[in-house]
Amino acid sequence: MKTPALRSWRDSLRVYTHPRVLSMFFLGFSAGLPFLLVFTTLTAWLRDAGLSLTVIGFFSWVGITYSIKVFWAPIIDHLPLPGLTRLLGRRRAWMLLAQSGIAAGLYAMTLVDPVSQTALLALIAVGIAFCSATQDIVIDAWRIEAVEDTLQGAMAATYVGGYRTALLVAGAGALYLADIIDWNTSYRVMALMMLVGIVTTLIIREPEVRIDEQTRNMEAELEAELGVNPGGGRRQRFKAWFSDAVVAPFVDFFRRYTSHALVVLALVGVYKLSDITMGAMAMPFYLDLGFSKTEIASIAKVFGFGMTLAGAALGGLLVARFGLMRPLLAGAILVAATNLLFATLALSGPSLTLLTVVISADNLSGGIATAVFVAYLSSLTNTAYTATQYALFSSLMTLPAKILSGMSGIIVDAQGYFIFFVYAATLGLPAIGLVIWLIHHGQKPKT
């Protein structure tokens, strides 16, 4: 693979002054705000209202919405919204609709009694989650289409910064307001905070996207192979839409990456294995070592939050200076290596100094890896199918890791924390190997 020309560090730092890079902080805030408000913050409200743990547990099913967003991503890619699309463009129109739906839903929750209208509250929560997942799809698509690949790391870094800031607002901020005033006021303030995203959507510009001739020819060939007549009746027009919106994104990916396609998909599936698997046992590990909840919260919030933002910013800087593949390899190595620090902590026993070092290193490496990996996933998409392809990659990114993390407790119970963290570190080896393979063998560039 040809090594890209290096930018100077000064030129690399300038990526964070790009207007669209800066706008990603506010879009990230808009994306992160509703997440906790339909999960942990909502469960606190429900428990405070006196609902049983059984009922509260059912509310976790709201999260399924985020895992199946790939199913309606093709609609967002290809279906214009009457009036809004012509006024704002296809990405900003869907973005504004989703953000307005979130704000309206959060306000609607304050008009419902959690005890006597629990089912209605759950339905509203599902609606908010659907709008939130839709917003995620559109923001990802806008981010990829708005700038070139060299800026994607910086876009991901500012997005992470905004998202994490929103988690603090929707978590600690919402709880604080509920404690001082009440839950209804808290959620109404959160609904008002969605103006951050709405105003940003109205200010930013719609990216200019051109469908290249090769993609159009591929769609025409696919329609011919499927026996579709785009100029026919309603059924034929629907088949043409299905071919272009649903089938074509998958065919396009495999045509562009040919023999490397399966290797790339394998990397997408295993890159986060080590990180997510370790995370499932992190909190029980801290408690079992003897650290208090206050100590864990203080270190994780102060050092963890700061180091995650620093890591994401550094990841974006590395992509701007060195390109994608070398920072991608560095991120994979760092994430696996930090698990060995957890193994060291497991042997040494409780030490606040060592805990601070380990959490700081883990969040720093995680921030770097996340920013670089998001930039890499963005580079894999064809702008004709940005929303659909990225939604597919983001789902594949977490699915294998979530399956394996479910068995993490079995390993800890059987072998202890030291063996578990060594095992989690070894889960990072496939990603390291696949990145090295792609560096040496190259991968077909994005069309």
The domains located in the chain, with CATH, are 9-203 (1.20.1250.20), 248-441 (1.20.1250.20)
Contact 392, 310 (CB under 8 A): no
Structure tokens at 39: 């999960």
How far is residue 39's CA from residue 300's CA, in Å, rounded to a whole number? 20
For residue 3, the model assigns a pLDDT of 47
Distance CA 324, CA 220 (A): 33
Q: Where are the alpha helices (DSSP H) in 226-348?
A: 234-242, 248-257, 261-270, 273-289, 293-299, 305-322, 325-348
CB 201 within 8 A of CB 97: no
- Give the dihedral sign, CA 380/149/162/96: negative
Kindly give, in sequence order, each residue whose CB lies less than 8 Å from that of residue 439, ignoring residues fewer than 6 positions away.
1, 325, 326, 329
Per the CB < 8 A criterion, the answer to whether 165 and 29 are in contact is yes
Residue 126 in contact with residue 101, Cβ under 8 Å? no
Structure tokens at 69: 């967003």
Model pLDDT, residue 7:
65
pLDDT confidence of residue 379 = 86
Report whether 420 contacts 282 (CB < 8 A): no
Both tokens of 231, joined, read: 């100029």
Please state, in angstroms and as integers, the Cα–Cα distance from residue 219 to each residue in 112, 308, 313, 370, following that order: 48, 42, 38, 33
The Cα–Cα gap between 181 and 92 comes to: 35
Start-to-end CA distance of the chain, whole Å, equals: 16
- Element containing residue 119 per DSSP (H, E): helix 118-146
Alpha-helical runs (H) found in 181-257 = 183-193, 195-203, 213-225, 234-242, 248-257
pTM of the model: 0.79
Cβ atoms of residues 274 and 339 within 8 Å: yes
Distance of alpha carbon 357 from alpha carbon 360, whole angstroms: 5
**pLDDT averaged per 10 residues in sequence order, the chain, 447 residues:** 57 77 94 89 83 76 80 88 91 96 96 92 93 94 86 86 90 87 94 97 88 78 77 76 82 85 90 82 79 74 79 86 89 92 87 86 90 88 84 80 73 86 92 92 57
pLDDT at 408: 74
